[in-house]
Structures are given as structure tokens and as C-alpha cells.
Structure 1
Amino acid sequence: MTEHDPALPCSRVGADELRPGDPTPGMSRRVALHTETMWSGTVDTDAGAVSGWHHHGEHDTTLYIVSGRMRLESGPGGQSVVEAGPGDFLRVPAGAIHRESNPGDEASRAVIVRCGSGTPTINVEGPAARA
């Protein structure tokens, strides 16, 4: 069978089947599916929490905010900031060093889909300062 075999059935992963994902301080990831080219799951961040700096290697990442708030800091010195709430999408390009935080007063949850290959999360010290 090939990846594009029309006979392959669709599948389901129940909420109780998610397993712990890659650790980054300040957040809790759970994996639903992980193949050679795709990673999907959830991330929960407590109110006021700030994650460690990290990137997702060769994976392009999309986050859909289900509840709460999410702020992403990226770019030189972490000076580029975007914030999202329920119903919003965020994009993290492959290799972009960033950290997430929850500026709200309730826990946040996002659904994550990463497309790419290799290690899905690489924790680092932080972004380089502007040259």
C-alpha cells in the first residue's frame, strides 16, 4: 500500500487516547497522531504561564485556539509579538525560535498540526538579538 491508497480507511483518535507530547517548560502537549510528515495534538498553557524558548525544526506549525489566550514571541530578541483567542489561527514557520505565553486569567488550549519531518520540538536558550 502507498500513502495515497484509496482503500485506506479513515481513522479516529479518541480524547482518552492522546499521549504526552514533547516537553517544553510552561506548557503541556498531548499527541494525537505522529507520522513521518505530520504531527497533531493539543497544547494546554496555564493562566500567566510562559513557555521555554523552542523551535519545531523542519515542521511548519498551525495552531487553532480553542479556549483562552495565546501570545507568541519570536524574531530577533523575541520582539515580534502576536496574540490570539478562541477561533483564531497562529502560524509558526519551520525553524522559527519562539515561546508561548498565556496572558489571560484562564487556562488556554490549542489544537496543533505540524507538517514536516524530523524532531518536532527542539528546546533552546532563546532567540538571537538583532544584529
Structure 2
Amino acid sequence: MDTFRPGTCIKLRPGQTYAGKQGFNYFNGIAKETTGSQAICMHLLTVPPGGRAKAHKHATHETAIYVVSGSAIMYWGENLEHCMETSAGDLIYIPADVPHLPINTGTEPTQAVIARTDPHEQESVVLLPHLDALVP
């Protein structure tokens, strides 16, 4: 869908979802594929209780997350050796190429706004299956 006119503002209302490589369903958001954006992707994510991503990283792209509601933990690092607790109101920064694996360990859905410096929804996602077994 590369028929966007330069200089045109576009409004989206999340509705449709797509299955991400990471194992979650994402609401369609701002991306090259939906708006023609050139340097940013932003979408919404709801992680159900017990929901767990596959270990992954975003090659050469930074990620920013705002936790709207709920809570989760995120393992991160070359061998997922670090663990960060997150809850509503937290802003999280993930540098490019840093392996991570989020899990909703709570009893309520966790909702977040996610933005990356990759304009494509999934292009920079690199799965790291050798790390999945490192997290119980």
C-alpha cells in the first residue's frame, strides 16, 4: 500500500489486528504499510494474563513503550539475564538490537502503546528461539 500522498495527514482508529512474529496480536497503527510513514511505527498492544512473547530483538531500531494499564515483566539482555517490572504509567526504552521477552504475569490484561524507529510493522523483528528456554 504505497499510494500515500506526501504531506497528507492521516487519522486511524485501531480496529483490525495482525499477528506479530513475537507471538502477540497487535492493533494496526501508524506504519509505512498503513500511512506511508517514513521513520516511525506506533501501535497498540493488549497482552492477556499469562501472555508471553517469543524472545526477540529489533535489528537497528529503538523501541519506546508506554504502559497504559496492567503490569508485566520484561526479561532483557544478551541472555535475558535482566528482569524489569513494569506497570501502568511506566515509560520503557529498549535500545536497538537488545534481546527482550515480555510476559504478563498479572491477572488483568496489560495495554501498551509501542513506538519504534522502524516504519514497518514487523520488518526489524528478529526472533531468538535459542533464548526462549532461558525464561521459566
Which of the five TM-score ranges fits, normalised by the shorter chain?
0.7 to 0.9
1:42 aligns with one of 44, 58, 61: 44
Measured after TM superposition, the shift of residue 21 of structure 1 is 4.9
- Change in Cα spacing, 1:32 to 1:117, as seen in structure 2 (3 Å) is closer
* Structure 1 residue 91, shift from structure 2 partner: 1.1
Q: Which runs of 5+ in 1 are unaligned?
A: none
Q: Which letter does structure 2 place at the counterpart of 1:34?
A: A
Q: Which amino acid aligns with 2:10?
A: S
Deviations 1:7-41 (A, max 9, x none): x343311123x44152322x222231113421110
Rounded to whole Å, the distance in 1 between the matches of 2:22 and 2:104 is: 14
* Contact 1:59 1:117 (8 Å CA) reproduced: no
**Which letter does structure 2 place at the counterpart of 1:47?**
P
**Match in the other structure for 1:120:** 124
Identity among equivalent positions (%) equals 20
In structure 2, do the counterparts of structure 1 residues 126 and 43 end up closer, same or farther at CA, with 3 Å as the change threshold? farther
Q: 4+ residue stretches of structure 1 with deviation over 3 A?
A: none
Q: Which stretch has the larger CA shift, 82-91 or 27-36?
A: 27-36
Aligned partners of 1:30, 1:120: CA distance in 2, in Å? 18
Paired residues of 2:31 and 2:119 also in contact (CA < 8 A): no
* 1:7-86 → structure 2 map (5 Å cutoff): 8-16=7-15, 18-25=16-23, 27-35=24-32, 36-86=38-88
Contact kept, 8 Å, 1:97 with 1:126, in 2: the verdict is no
1:95 Cα deviation after fit: 0.8
**TM-score normalised to structure 1 length:** 0.79
Q: Which amino acid aligns with 1:22?
A: G
Output the CA distance in 2 between the equivalents of 1:126 and 1:87: 32
Change in Cα spacing, 1:66 to 1:117, as seen in structure 2 (3 Å) is closer
Unaligned 5+ segments in structure 2 are 1-5, 33-37
If the length of structure 2 is used for normalisation, what is the TM-score? 0.76
